[in-house]
């Protein structure tokens, strides 16, 4: 009688663990779907890249070691009858080429407060800061 009682107690624990795990999965799934629907619908639009400017931001000082060159990209996009300006700093030359090649093309942008995420025609996502004092 003691062995069967231990077995039923173990089954009860396993059942409770399964219910708790299932509740966590259902809650997590609903949270993820609500978050993605809120992000995808709000602020997402198609815009045309009007201009792109590349500026070298590496400070020049004497060193015997090679330096990594950082570039700041300033760009303007027009979507939904409004022009947005952004700036993005990167040392990656492929990212710079993707943004430069997207000039005069339609791209997808997502606005989120002071951030602007630009998706280039090649699929690369660039997360930039919105510049408010003009382009």
At which residue do the structure tokens 């779907």 appear?
33
User: Where are the strands (E) in the chain, listed by range?
Assistant: 44-56, 71-79, 82-90, 106-112, 115-119, 125-131
pLDDT in tens, 95-108: 999 999 999 999 99
- Residue 63 pLDDT: 79
* pLDDT score recorded for residue 5: 58
Which tokens hold the place of 86?
């952004």
Per-residue confidence band for 6, with pLDDT thresholds at 50, 70 and 90: low
Q: Residue 51: which of 13, 99, 117 has the closest Cα?
A: 99
> Has residue 3 got a pLDDT over 60?
no
Q: Could you read off the pLDDT of 58-95 as tens digits, one per residue?
A: 777 777 888 888 999 999 999 988 999 999 999 999 99
Instruction: Show Cβ contacts of residue 120 under 8 Å, excluding neighbours closer than 6 positions.
Output: 98, 99, 101, 102, 107, 126
The phi, psi pair for 15, rounded to 5°, reads -65, -40
């Amino acid at each position: 009688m003691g062995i069967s009682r231990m077995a039923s107690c173990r089954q009860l624990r396993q059942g409770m663990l399964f219910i708790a795990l299932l509740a966590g999965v259902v809650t997590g799934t609903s949270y993820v779907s609500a978050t993605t629907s809120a992000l995808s619908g709000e602020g997402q639009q198609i815009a045309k890249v009007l201009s792109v400017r590349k500026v070298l931001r590496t400070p020049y000082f004497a060193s015997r070691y090679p330096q990594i060159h950082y570039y700041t990209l300033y760009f303007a996009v027009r979507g939904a009858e409004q022009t947005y300006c952004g700036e993005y700093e990167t040392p990656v030359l492929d990212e710079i080429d993707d943004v430069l090649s997207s000039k005069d093309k339609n791209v997808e942008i997502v606005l989120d407060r002071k951030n602007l995420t630009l998706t280039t025609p090649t699929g690369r996502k660039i997360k930039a800061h919105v510049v408010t004092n003009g382009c």
